[in-house]
Copies of this chain bind each other. A is one copy, B any other.
Amino acid sequence: MPDKTPVPSNAELEILRVLWKDGPSTVRSVHDALSRERNVGYTTVLKIMQVMAEKRLVTRDESERSHVYSPAVEEKSVKRRLVSDLLDKAFDGSAAQLVMQALSDKRASAEDLKQIRKLLNESARKEQ
């Protein structure tokens, strides 16, 4: 079931993340959420969400005065696309290379590494 929707831009992704986290939301509520992180105008958020609706990145319910927007793309599949794009454009398609780079990120804690190791070992066992 391939997605024909475009990869979301940065601002769009920001909004999608709010929708994924909070579920169907009004522009007001998305704006409130984003405002906690950075300065952004209300009509800016509105406009982007309107554009997203045109692109089918979100759907909206107009039955109330305050329209309610819902994500129309799955978090998993968007992230997959993003990773896949980065893989192509920077890592020659080598997931191993990208993983190595990600693991060397300062934010990859020892705990993370442990968890990843565990998952990898588990899946290896399963495949045998």
Contact = CB atoms under 8 A, between A and B. Distances in A.
Contacts of A86: 82-83, 86
Interface in A86-128: 86-87, 89-91, 93-96, 98-105, 107-108, 110, 112-117, 119-121, 123-124, 127
The 5 closest A-B pairs by CB, nearest first: A95-B108, A96-B112, A117-B120, A95-B105, A95-B102
Given A83-B98, A99-B112, 19 more contacts: A17-B90, A80-B101, A82-B90, A83-B86, A83-B105, A86-B86, A87-B102, A93-B107, A95-B102, A95-B103, A95-B112, A96-B108, A96-B112, A98-B102, A99-B99, A99-B102, A103-B120, A110-B127, A117-B117
